[in-house]
Structure 1
């Protein structure tokens, strides 16, 4: 079998590594120049994009911001999974909100803003504490602004004055006093079979995911079932095929959907060593029409992103249950360079291992690590 992935970053690389034992060959497309490349070495392959699409059994994406003309060409083959409609939902928050509202899936109260004057109305209807998100091309904290009170509004309007909001609207949300951020990774195949992973708890810093812990602590069967039901409603409603990530706010016993990611996701990387079947393998299984794998957790796991640095000791691999995944990128501020997975058999031991891990890392780049180690150790 052969799968072509639009995008040539670390997610395509990890799909390649997951596909090899299954006999699934994965090729990647550098969407900046429409070149077919090897997902690990990034070396151009001796095949054109048209030839790659013709020879593929399935086409998929590693990120949602693939140029639409490429997605349209992929759709014509009948091999693109998930569908172009599902991918575009992840690329456009206006579409995303419309989907959630149409399916009656709980999410943050919001307004769509195409003119700055509408922000005054947003304050009247949603309150003074607001978060503003660009409807397109915003990720890892980029394209977001916050309003703490109405006295800040004039300054905020000046900051937004150069934006073309008619072309790229803002989604303005009521700031939700949530308890924590969770995510659910789930997968649905072409036969309609669905599996979901245990909820993961996500810790962010400056808009970027730094640490995920899965299964999330203090999750009862009822909360996991609510998350599963949300996934099923969304996946079946979109006739979705592949892995879908659902980012959630927990507010007491309720869950609000924050964002959707129509692809394998950073908060599911823990599954590489912490679940019976990784999200990458299950995505390939789903789009290739194979039976889905067991999504059960092997034990408590943590995923720690390596962001903006490359100077750390590989001796961290001396910690039992630790695994390093390096992406081979040049260093840049706020760039995800790799991640570390740690898996063990109790949350207390997980906290101890995260504390041990801190001895090998420059902690200025890992601001959430020590606090989470202490929390888990109790």
Structure 2
């Protein structure tokens, strides 16, 4: 079997590695040049995009910001999974909010803004603590502005002046007082079978994910079921095929959906060592029609992103249950260079291993590591 992935980054690379034992050949598309490349070496392959589409059993994506002309070509093949419509939901916050409202899924109170003059009404409706998001091309904290008092409104308007809000509207959300950020990774097969992983707890710094812990501590059966119900409504509502990530805020006993990612997701990287079947393998199973694999957690696991950093001691691999996943990129500020997975028998031992990891990495590049290590190591 052969799967063609639009996008040639680390997610395509990890799909390639997951597919090899299954006999699934994964190729990637560099969407900046329409070139078919090897997902690991990034070297061009001897095939045009049209030939690769014809030869593939399934087409999929590693990120949602694929040029629409390429998605339209892929959709015509009747091999694209998830569908173009589902992919565009992840690429456009307005579409995303419309889907959540249509399916009556709780999410942040918000307004869609197509003119700067409408921001005054947003304050009246939502209060003077707002998060303003570009509806497209925003990720890892980019394309976002925070308003913490009405006095900042004119300054925010000046920062946004010149944007074509009729073409790319803003999504203005009420700033929530939430307890923590969570995510649920699930997978739906072509015939509608659904499996979900345990909820993960995510720690962000400057808009980027730095640490995920799964299963998230202090999640009872009711909260996990609430997340699974949300996933099922979304996946069935979109007639979805593949892995879907649902990012959420926990506010007391309620989960509010923050964002959707129609693909394998950073907060699911822990599944590479913490579950019998990784999110990458399950995505390939789903799009090629194979039975879905087990999504249970073997034990507590942590995923620590390596961001903008290439200097750390490989001696970290001496920590039992530690695995390094390096993406082979040129180091750049705020760029995801790789990640580290840790597994342990319980949360306290996981915290101790994270404390060991602190000694091998530069603290300024891992600002959430020591804090989370301390919290987990004191777990009772």
With the length of structure 2 as denominator, give the TM-score of the two structures.
0.99
Hey, what does 2:99 align to over in structure 1?
A: 99
Three-state SS of the structure 2 residue aligned to 1:60 is strand
Equivalent residues in 2 for 1:115-130 (5 A)?
115-130=115-130
Hey, what does 2:111 align to over in structure 1?
A: 111
Hey, what does 1:82 align to over in structure 2?
A: 82
| Alpha-carbon distance in structure 1 between the residues aligned to 2:162 and 2:149 | 22
The CA RMSD over aligned residues, in Å, is 0.4
Deviation at 1:164, TM superposition (A): 1.2
Three-state SS of the structure 2 residue aligned to 1:264 is coil
2:44 aligned with 1:39, yes or no?
Answer: no
Deviation at 1:162, TM superposition (A): 2.0
1:112-161: per-residue Cα shift (whole Å, max 9, x none)? 01111100000000000000000000000000000001011111111111
For structure 1, the 5+ residue unaligned runs are none
For structure 2, the 5+ residue unaligned runs are none
Three-state SS of the structure 2 residue aligned to 1:338 is strand
Three-state SS of the structure 1 residue aligned to 2:286 is helix
Three-state SS of the structure 2 residue aligned to 1:345 is coil
Hey, what does 1:205 align to over in structure 2?
A: 205
With the length of structure 1 as denominator, give the TM-score of the two structures.
1.00
Aligned residues: 378
| Alpha-carbon distance in structure 1 between the residues aligned to 2:166 and 2:337 | 35
Deviation at 1:167, TM superposition (A): 1.1
Three-state SS of the structure 2 residue aligned to 1:155 is helix
Deviation at 1:163, TM superposition (A): 1.2
1:283-330: per-residue Cα shift (whole Å, max 9, x none)? 000000000000000100000000001000000000000000000000
| Alpha-carbon distance in structure 2 between the residues aligned to 1:200 and 1:128 | 31
2:360 aligned with 1:360, yes or no?
Answer: yes
1:29-66: per-residue Cα shift (whole Å, max 9, x none)? 00000000000000000011111000000000000000
Deviation at 1:276, TM superposition (A): 1.0
| Alpha-carbon distance in structure 2 between the residues aligned to 1:256 and 1:63 | 23
2:192 aligned with 1:160, yes or no?
Answer: no
Three-state SS of the structure 2 residue aligned to 1:360 is coil
| Alpha-carbon distance in structure 1 between the residues aligned to 2:72 and 2:154 | 41
Hey, what does 1:64 align to over in structure 2?
A: 64
| Alpha-carbon distance in structure 2 between the residues aligned to 1:163 and 1:364 | 34
Hey, what does 1:289 align to over in structure 2?
A: 289
Hey, what does 2:196 align to over in structure 1?
A: 196
Deviation at 1:223, TM superposition (A): 0.3
Hey, what does 2:336 align to over in structure 1?
A: 336
Three-state SS of the structure 2 residue aligned to 1:28 is strand
| Alpha-carbon distance in structure 2 between the residues aligned to 1:314 and 1:205 | 24
Deviation at 1:198, TM superposition (A): 0.2
Hey, what does 1:320 align to over in structure 2?
A: 320
Deviation at 1:184, TM superposition (A): 0.1
Three-state SS of the structure 1 residue aligned to 2:218 is coil
1:259-286: per-residue Cα shift (whole Å, max 9, x none)? 0000000000000000111000000000
Deviation at 1:166, TM superposition (A): 1.0
Give the ranges of 4+ consecutive aligned residues of structure 1 lying more than 2 Å apart after TM superposition: none
